[in-house]
Amino acid sequence: MSKIHVTTTVNGDATEFLCDPRETLLDVLRDRLSLTGAKEGCGTGDCGACSVTVDGRLISSCLMLAAEAEGKEIGTVEGIATGEELHPLQRKFIEHAALQCGVCTPGILVAVKNLLERDPDPTEQQVRYWLAGNLCRCTGYDKIIRAVMDAAAEMRGAA
Amino acid sequence: MALDEYTEQTGGPADEIRSEFTKVGTSPDRPDGIDKVTGRARFGADAYAPGMLHGVIVRSPHAHARIVSIDTSRAEAAPGVKAVVTRADFADGQSGEDWAVMENVMAGDTALYDGHAVAALAATSLLEARDAARLIEVEYQILPHVTDVDEAMKDGAPVIREGAADNSVPAGMHPNVVRYHSSGHGDVDQGFAEADLVIEDHFVTAATHQGYIEPHACLATMGGDGRAELWCCTQGHWNVQKLCAATVGIEQSKLRVTASEIGGGFGGKTTVFVEPVALALSRKANKPVKVVMTRSEVFRASGPTASTSMDVKIGMKKDGTMTAARGVFRCQGGAFPGAPMEFTSMCAFAPYALKHVSQIGYDVMTNRPKQAAYRAPGSPMAAFAVESVVDELCNKLGLDPIEVRLKNASRMGTKASFGPTWDRIGLVETLEEAKAHPHFSAPLAPGAGRGISCGFWFNHGGETSVTMAMSEDGSAQLMVGTPDIGGSRASMALMAAEELGIPYENVRVTVADTASLGYNEVSHGSRVTYASGLATIQAARDTVRKLCARAAAKWGIDEDAVTWQDGCAVPSGPNAGDFDPLPIDRICRVMGRTGGPIVGHYEATPEGAGVSFATHIVDAEVDRETGATKVTRYTVVQDAGKAIHPTYVEGQFQGGAAQGIGWALNEEYVYGPDGRLQNAGFLDYRIPVASDLPMIDTVIVEVPNPGHPYGVRGVGETSICPPLAAIANAVSNAAGVRMRQLPMRPSRVLEALEDQD
């Protein structure tokens, strides 16, 4: 089967790739672009470990065909820090021990960064519902919620 | 902890337990933090190799079927396919657990459960591999099957495998009963006769899965000479080395296994599933092969925990004194022996000092996947049954649930239900802390219920090997062999820094591969901070002795006249001589010409893992219209011995509670009449999501473990022991009806409410 040529932007960089029509965006990010931060936890859109943004919208990259990325702007966990400076969310996740094994962490960071861009002052309940599509099996979510609320406060200048 | 590995944990180092610290007990950022928040950390599926192929496994769609024939010719001719393997491509002649692992990794004559591997192939792309896998033609002769534990014990039930039982099983049992356990002391009938109230009840729990977010994944490279490299996500790479060598038929030292970062395990990554298959494919294709399970494969063909059917009977006097207890625990562990029924039995009544106690366990085979360890294997189910009966006794006799538990609590010097006499333990302290916690006295909302439960886990030591190598600038490189599954690099670095008297940041902790360090048992049994921690402390003390020897040589005094303080060698007293403190970096800078590299090490099988107890308090609300339960408040009180990194200790407490909430309310393996798993995905096997849970409050109790230099007890597993019971008690008290079966899904709660009306 012939491959499809796709032109896109990933974390601000112009990027081109060839993909099989059946490959997902997650497959291409990981296997063709060496961006292995996004993880495949289920392949069915249930766990959120593959969360990325496409034109600012939060999606499960295992549910989007790579060919659909033509002309889109993709954001992944690898694009969250600025050079060596971590994003406040990344810093607060480490400080609060909001990760144990860390495999869900990239997807959760992409998701909550997207939330704070929409609403810089969410309630605990809003954070919990926003993250309901991102499974974490280690932490019980407690420290994740605390890290998000703390980072949001710092970013608002309230901390 | 594997079933054959439990030994009574007694004694420990003669040294005094250290109690003054400058670094231990603080919560610095973990050393691998940046890797894990930037996407840089490399997990099982994140490895790639030049020329790499992708492997796919063909699995039985039948619960029980004889494999008549496998035709691989069409698949072999498909585009991109480089190798196809069946059981004939593996070694034969294994025995014991090696045989069971081989049979589970790739079926021989018979497929024993839905999802059992029967063939595999490797192709140049994953899409080609998946396409070609559909071309493998397997002819099956379908056999009768059984998936329920009670059904599997009945006369006439299909036999999974004749002759699988060991000699512990009493005569006359069904061949599916493969192991038997009996323990206890006293005369339970006499004890029941002394009681004012005796309650006997039947309890059932469903099989659940560890639910780690990272599927099993590996990258294998094997040449025709049998030399091999394996990268995989595992809790224990030496065990992977051993099992892979036995199944592919090579010497262990020919295979080097490197543990990737691990995306959760909870016991489920203590054995092998895809690793031997990747090696066999790589050997045949002479190219690297990557195999990654899909989520559906994880559910169907990795190792969930046992389901249970249990009977518990307890007698109590009006003043709350427990007079006797008896439990019968039937555990279903899939198509191979190994359900953790002896742990279920031994943990059941461990929190109570009982004069008369008896516990019996049955290990029962069914047509389900081979169970694996799941966080305190066997204990949570036992606590559910026992603590439910204790709660009912308290309700009926009008007694306070914490006072009754305090009255009967195991403490130092009392005889444990399974035999030994308790050393220093912290159950009473957790109960006292729970009683004093504001949660326990907070008023309940109308219609809400509160549940209390205790829980117990043994904890484990195990074979451990650690090396500490000093750098010329005085920083330290610590090599451990226990994969870091929840922040253990931070704990190791804290303990090493404490002993050496150097900054935490100056210790680099590496999880070494199997070719670089002595044998290390799996990261299981809550053993890492205890055993690798103990070994780290001893390796650091060995290093310090060598550092002191260099100072002694420089000063021309005896080695025992030098002691170590705050990162410096100092004379041990005025008689030793008058020398300025010699800092670690100055000793290390010249180590090449004062005797060579300075390396400390420690190898042992420490046996002083202190047991651990917990008490949980749960509030729950039940919607009487829908049967849905909401956990509204949760408090974990647990004995950690000594919390090295308190924030990660809290994390272990919270994580165990959250998994317990899922087990209690939602999670279950659902098998259809055809013996196939009906919910092999996260949509239908629903683990708790963020909006399901409240904040989880924690209280760290520290009753030092005499078997560790700092008093550490393992903390990872005990936290999942009380939740099933604590939540069941909360739900039962909210609903006004005793819940005896897990999960307490809405339909089940509704049925219970309707039966009550």
Q: Which of B655, B690, B695 sits opposite A132 (nearest CB)?
A: B690
Average pLDDT over residues B445-451: 95
Q: Which of A103, A109, A142 sits opposite B213 (nearest CB)?
A: A103
- Alpha-carbon gap: A25 to the closest alpha carbon of chain B (Å): 14
Q: What pLDDT was estimated at residue B16? A: 82
B206 occurs within a structural domain? no
In 10 A of CB B251, how many CB atoms?
9
Backbone angles phi, psi at B485, to 5 degrees: -100, -10
Q: What pLDDT was estimated at residue A1? A: 61
Instruction: Tell me: do B640 and B589 sit in the same domain.
Output: no
Query: Which CATH number characterizes residue B417's domain?
Result: 3.30.365.10
Instruction: Tell me: do B446 and B505 sit in the same domain.
Output: no
| Banded model confidence at residue B458, pLDDT cuts 50, 70, 90 | very high
Q: Is A16 exposed, middle or buried (0-12, 13-18, 19+ CB in 10 A)?
A: exposed
Overall domain count for chain B:
2
Give the chain A residue nearest B658 (alpha carbons): A140
Strands ordered across the beta sheet of B137-142: B110-111, B65-71, B137-142
When comparing pLDDT for B486 and B627, which is higher? B627
Q: Look at residue A27 and tell me whether its pLDDT is greater than 70.
A: yes
Instruction: Tell me: do B686 and B557 sit in the same domain.
Output: no
Q: Look at residue B15 and tell me whether its pLDDT is greater than 80.
A: no
**Residues of chain B contacting A90 with CB distance shorter than 8 Å:** 34, 37-38
Chain B residues 268-297 within an 8 A CB cutoff of chain A: 292, 294-295
- Alpha-carbon gap: B153 to the closest alpha carbon of chain A (Å): 34
Q: What pLDDT was estimated at residue B185? A: 98
B130 vs A: CB within 8 A: no
Element containing residue B228 per DSSP (H, E): strand B228-232
Average pLDDT over residues B274-301: 98
Answer for the pair B549, B582: CB distance below 8 angstroms, yes or no: no
A32-60 pLDDT tens trace: 999 999 999 999 999 999 999 999 999 99
When comparing pLDDT for B330 and B225, which is higher? B330
Average pLDDT, chain B: 96
| Contact call for A136 and B648, based on CB within 8 A | no
Q: Look at residue B12 and tell me whether its pLDDT is greater than 50.
A: no
Closest CA to B719 of B461, B485, B455: B455
Instruction: Tell me: do B678 and B720 sit in the same domain.
Output: yes
At residue B26, the 3 state secondary structure works out as strand
B116 occurs within a structural domain? no
> Of B604, B638, B662, which closes a domain?
B604
A65-76 pLDDT tens trace: 999 999 999 999
Closest CA to B645 of B2, B24, B6: B24
Q: What pLDDT was estimated at residue B11? A: 46
Closest CA to B722 of B305, B351, B205: B351
| Banded model confidence at residue B14, pLDDT cuts 50, 70, 90 | very low
Instruction: Tell me: do B427 and B501 sit in the same domain.
Output: no
**Residues of chain B contacting A142 with CB distance shorter than 8 Å:** 654, 693, 695-696
Choose the mutation target among B689, B715, B719 for the interface with A, i.e. most A CBs under 10 Å.
Answer: B689
Chain B residues 476-505 within an 8 A CB cutoff of chain A: 485-487
Is the CATH code 3.10.20.30 the one for domain A4-79? yes
Closest CA to B618 of B632, B604, B628, B605: B632
Instruction: Tell me: do B565 and B624 sit in the same domain.
Output: no
Q: What pLDDT was estimated at residue B367? A: 98
Q: Look at residue B4 and tell me whether its pLDDT is greater than 90.
A: no
B138-155 pLDDT tens trace: 999 999 999 999 999 999
Answer for the pair B148, B332: CB distance below 8 angstroms, yes or no: yes
Average pLDDT over residues B4-13: 50
B231 occurs within a structural domain? no
| Contact call for A94 and B33, based on CB within 8 A | yes
Q: Look at residue B8 and tell me whether its pLDDT is greater than 90.
A: no
Q: Look at residue B77 and tell me whether its pLDDT is greater than 90.
A: yes
Rounded CA separation A153/A89 (Å) = 11
Q: Look at residue B9 and tell me whether its pLDDT is greater than 60.
A: no
Rounded CA separation A56/A75 (Å) = 8
Question: Structure tokens of A133?
Answer: 């599509």
Rounded CA separation A145/B693 (Å) = 11
| Banded model confidence at residue B390, pLDDT cuts 50, 70, 90 | very high
B29 vs A: CB within 8 A: yes
Contacts with B174 (C-beta within 8 Å, 6 or more apart), sequence order = B152, B153, B154, B155, B157, B159
For chain A, the domains span 4-79, 88-156
B604-650 pLDDT tens trace: 999 999 999 999 999 999 999 999 999 999 999 999 999 999 999 99
Superfamily assignment of A88-156 in CATH?
A: [2Fe-2S]-binding domain (1.10.150.120)
Q: What pLDDT was estimated at residue B7? A: 56
B749 occurs within a structural domain? yes
Instruction: Tell me: do B742 and B616 sit in the same domain.
Output: yes
**What ipTM was reported for this prediction?**
0.98
Count of A-B CB contacts under 8 Å? 182
Instruction: Tell me: do B417 and B475 sit in the same domain.
Output: no
B639-679 pLDDT tens trace: 999 999 999 999 999 999 999 999 999 999 999 999 999 99
Closest CA to B667 of B120, B205, B217: B205
Q: Look at residue B277 and tell me whether its pLDDT is greater than 60.
A: yes
Average pLDDT over residues B681-704: 98
Domain extent at residue B703: 378-459+610-756
| Banded model confidence at residue B29, pLDDT cuts 50, 70, 90 | very high
A92-101 pLDDT tens trace: 999 999 999 9
**Residues of chain A contacting B666 with CB distance shorter than 8 Å:** none
B392-433 pLDDT tens trace: 999 999 999 999 999 999 999 999 999 999 999 999 999 999
B84-127 pLDDT tens trace: 999 999 999 999 999 999 999 999 999 999 999 999 999 999 99
Tokens 């890492």 -> residue: B528
B45 vs A: CB within 8 A: yes
Q: Which of A20, A47, A105 sits opposite B37 (nearest CB)?
A: A105
Answer for the pair B452, B391: CB distance below 8 angstroms, yes or no: yes
Give the chain B residue nearest A47 (alpha carbons): B682
Instruction: Tell me: do B476 and B596 sit in the same domain.
Output: yes
| Banded model confidence at residue B505, pLDDT cuts 50, 70, 90 | very high
Instruction: Tell me: do B540 and B409 sit in the same domain.
Output: no
B160 occurs within a structural domain? no
Average pLDDT over residues B209-234: 96
- % of chain B surpassing 90 pLDDT: 96
Q: What pLDDT was estimated at residue B448? A: 97
Instruction: Tell me: do B443 and B540 sit in the same domain.
Output: no
Q: Look at residue B481 and tell me whether its pLDDT is greater than 80.
A: yes
Answer for the pair B740, B640: CB distance below 8 angstroms, yes or no: no
